A and B are shown apart, each in its own frame.
Chain A
Amino acid sequence: MRVGSAALKGVTGLVLLFLLFPVLVVVLISFSSVDFLSFPPPGLSLRWYRTIFSDWQWIDAFWVTAQVGALTALLSTLLGVPAAFALSRHVTRGRGMLNALVLAALVTPSVIKALAIYLYYVPLGLLNTIPGLAFAHTVSGIPFVVINVVASLAGYDRDIERAATIHGASPVRAVFGVTLPIIAPAIIVGAVFAFMQSAQELLIAIFVLSTLQKPLAVKLWEGVRVAIDPSIAAATTSVTLLVILGLVTVMLANRRSRPVRTVAHA
C-alpha cells in the first residue's frame, strides 16, 4: 500500500460496511422470531422459512423462477460461448459495433425491454409462457457469458490448443477436449450470472408473466409493497443460499484447472 495506508484501509472498511450492511440486515431478519420487522431481531428462529416452504404460492414462484432462470442460463451459454470465441479470435472488422450491441443488450433499461417485448409478444402468442420470459431474459444473459468467456480467452495461452493439435487432435477435438475444460469456470460463472439476472429481473416478468404464474421477483415485489412480516427476507435468502451453493461448486471447479505457472513469457 502506498498512499496514506491507514486512511485508505479505514475508508475501504466503511465503504464495504455500507455495501454489505443491507445484506446482513436481510439475512438476519429472515431468521427473526417475531411477527414484525425490527432490526436487530429480538430472537432467532426458522419460522419464516417454514412459512415460506409451506405456502404453495411461494413454492410456485420458486419453481417458475428456477425454470425461467435455468432456460435463460442454458440459452445464454449456448449462444454466448461460440460468439465469444468468434469475438476473441476471428473478428477483426466490426468489432466495435459488436461490442456496442452486446453492451446495449445488457444495459438498455428494463422498462424499454419490457414494453418492447410485450408489444412484440402479443401477436406472437408468447405472453404468459415460461419460454417467452426466458427468451427475453436471454438477451440480458448473453452479455454475462460473452464478457466472461472473452476475458478468459484473452488470458488463455493458445499454444495449449496448438499443442493438442500438433499431437494429433483435430481442431474441433482440441477445442472441446482442451480449451473448453480450461475455460469452463468462466463459462459457469457467466451462466450463473445469467441465471441471477433472470431471477432478479422484475419489469419484463411483470409484463410477460403477470396473470397466471408469478416468478419470485414479482412475488417479492408484491410482498415489499405490503411489507408486514419477515417472510420475503426468508424467501430471498433461500434463493441466495442456493445460488451461493452453486458458486462454491464453481470455485471448486476453478481450483482444479488453475493455469500452469511458468516463468516463460517473462
Chain B
Amino acid sequence: MLAMVLLAPMLLWIVAFFILPTALMIWESFAERGLAPYAAILTSPIYRKVLLTTLKICLITTSGSLLLGYPVAYMLTTCRPALRKLLLVLVVLPYWLDLIVRSYSWMILLGRHGLINQLVVGLGFSEGALPLLYNLFSVCLGMVQILLPLTILTLFSAMLRIDLRLVDAAAIHGASRWRAFLTVFLPLSLPGIYAAGLLVFVSALGFYVTPALLGGPEQTMISQTIMVIASDLLDWPLASAAGALLLVVTTCLLLVYSRFFRLDRMLGGVAR
C-alpha cells in the first residue's frame, strides 16, 4: 500500500512522458501505410547497411571499452583506499564536460594539422599527414572515450563483490600470481563483464553526436538516419518505424540485463 503511494508519482510520470509517447510513435509507424515502412527499412540496401554499420561500431566500441576498462577496474578494486578515491574522481571527471565538446576535442587532436599528425610528421614516422579523422577508427575512439567511465564503474562495482582473499588462497596453494588471476579472479568477474558489456552495447546503439562529428558517410549510424528521415525527409511513419525497430532491440537487451543484474549495483551508486 505504502509502496504504491511512494511509487505512483514516478510511475505515472514515466507512463505520461515515456511509455505513452513511445506507444504513440509505434502507432504512428503503422497508422498511414501499415507495414510498408518496416518493409522499406528491412529491404532497402541503404538502411540495411546502416543497421550493419551500427552493429559493427557497437561491437568494436564495446570490446574496446571492456579491454581498456578492465585493467582500470581491477586497479580500483585492489589498490589502497586513498588512491581509489582519487582514481574514481578521475574516471568520473570527463562526464562533467559536455558530450558534444568531448567529441569535438578529438576533431582538434586528430585533424590534418592536429597534435597527433604534428607529432607523427615532426618525428618523421610519416611523409604526409595520416588520415585519422572521419573514419571507423575515429568514431570508435571517440565512443570508447565517452563510454569508458560507465564501463569502469560497472566492472568495478561487480569486482568489489569478489573476496580478494580467494586470490591469496589460490597463491598459497601454488598458483603463480598470473595463474591465480586467470583461474580465480577473472572467472569470478565474468558477471561484471557481461553486465558492463550489455550496458555499454545498449548505450552505444543510440549514439548520434560522435559518429556525426568524427565519422564519414560510411560510418552513418541508425540515430543519424532516423534524424534525417524525420527532420529532412519529414517522413514520420518511416522515422517511427526505424525508431520502433531500434526500441525492440534495446528493450530485448535490457530485459536480459535486468533478468541477471540488479539496479542498485549499477554504476556502483555513481559517485560514491
Identify the A interface with B (CB < 8 A).
Answer: 1-4, 8-9, 11-12, 15-16, 18-23, 25-27, 29, 37-40, 75, 78-80, 82-83, 85-91, 96, 98-105, 107-113, 115-120, 135-136, 138-139, 142, 144, 146-148, 150-152, 154, 186, 189-190, 193, 196, 199-200, 202-203, 206, 216-217, 220-221, 224, 227, 232-233, 236-237, 239-240, 243-244, 247
The yes or no answer to B35 lying at the interface (CB within 8 A) is no
In the complex, which of the residues B96, B254, B268 has the most CB atoms of chain A within 10 Å of its own CB atom? B96
A109 with B94, Cβ < 8 A, contacts A23-B102, A135-B17 known = no
Min CB distance A180 to B, Å, is 14
Bound Cα distance from A83 to B264, whole angstroms: 13
Min CB distance B212 to A, Å, is 9
Contacting A20 at CB < 8 Å: which of B78, B90, B164, B203?
B90
Contact, CB under 8 Å: B269 / A148: yes
Contact, CB under 8 Å: B74 / A8: yes
Given contacts A86-B2, A89-B3, A115-B226, 15 further A-B contacts (CB under 8 A): A2-B181, A4-B177, A9-B75, A82-B6, A99-B263, A101-B14, A103-B263, A104-B254, A107-B250, A111-B208, A120-B20, A147-B264, A150-B269, A152-B269, A224-B101
Listed A/B pairs (25) with beta-carbon separation below 8 Å: A1-B78, A3-B177, A3-B181, A20-B90, A23-B94, A27-B97, A37-B108, A39-B108, A39-B109, A40-B115, A78-B9, A79-B10, A82-B5, A87-B263, A96-B258, A104-B254, A107-B250, A109-B223, A110-B206, A111-B246, A112-B246, A138-B13, A138-B17, A193-B271, A227-B107
B169 cross-chain contacts in A, Cβ below 8 A? none
B115 cross-chain contacts in A, Cβ below 8 A? 25, 39-40
Contact, CB under 8 Å: B25 / A83: no
A90 with B2, Cβ < 8 A, contacts A1-B78, A22-B109, A102-B263 known = yes
Bound Cα distance from A150 to B270, whole angstroms: 11
Contact, CB under 8 Å: A193 / B270: yes
Residue of A whose beta carbon sits closest to that of B199: A107
Contacting B97 at CB < 8 Å: which of A108, A144, A240?
A240
The yes or no answer to B247 lying at the interface (CB within 8 A) is yes
A85 cross-chain contacts in B, Cβ below 8 A? 6
Rank and list the top 3 A-B pairs by shortest CB-CB distance, nearest first.
A109-B206, A151-B269, A90-B3
The yes or no answer to B230 lying at the interface (CB within 8 A) is yes
A100 with B254, Cβ < 8 A, contacts A15-B148, A91-B7 known = yes
The yes or no answer to B104 lying at the interface (CB within 8 A) is yes
A120 cross-chain contacts in B, Cβ below 8 A? 20-21, 24-25
Contacting B9 at CB < 8 Å: which of A82, A108, A150?
A82
Contact, CB under 8 Å: A147 / B269: yes
Residue tally, chain B, CB below 8 Å to A? 98
Q: Which of B45-53, B128-136, B235-243 contacts A (4 or more CB under 8 A)?
A: B235-243
Identify the B interface with A (CB < 8 A).
Answer: 2-7, 9-11, 13-14, 17-18, 20-22, 24-25, 28, 68-69, 71-72, 74-75, 78-79, 87, 90-91, 93-109, 113-115, 145, 148-149, 164, 167, 177-178, 180-181, 185, 199, 202-203, 205-206, 208-209, 213, 222-223, 226-227, 230-231, 236, 239-240, 243, 246-247, 250-251, 254-255, 257-259, 262-272
Min CB distance A161 to B, Å, is 14
Min CB distance A256 to B, Å, is 16
Bound Cα distance from A15 to B11, whole angstroms: 39
Bound Cα distance from A81 to B253, whole angstroms: 27
Q: Is the interface of A mostly helix, strand, loop or mixed?
A: helix
A224 cross-chain contacts in B, Cβ below 8 A? 100-101, 103-104, 107, 213
Residue of A whose beta carbon sits closest to that of B141: A18
Number of A-B residue pairs with CB-CB distance less than 8 Å in the complex they form: 288
Min CB distance A103 to B, Å, is 6
B209 cross-chain contacts in A, Cβ below 8 A? 202, 221
A186 cross-chain contacts in B, Cβ below 8 A? 269, 272
B97 cross-chain contacts in A, Cβ below 8 A? 22-23, 26-27, 236-237, 240
Contact, CB under 8 Å: B22 / A136: no
In the complex, which of the residues A3, A26, A239 has the most CB atoms of chain B within 10 Å of its own CB atom? A3
Contacting A29 at CB < 8 Å: which of B72, B108, B205?
B108
A80 cross-chain contacts in B, Cβ below 8 A? 10
Bound Cα distance from A235 to B78, whole angstroms: 38
Min CB distance B31 to A, Å, is 10
Contact, CB under 8 Å: B98 / A100: no
In the complex, which of the residues A15, A89, A221 has the most CB atoms of chain B within 10 Å of its own CB atom? A15
Bound Cα distance from A118 to B255, whole angstroms: 26
Min CB distance B226 to A, Å, is 5
A110 with B223, Cβ < 8 A, contacts A96-B258, A193-B270 known = yes
Bound Cα distance from A15 to B20, whole angstroms: 42
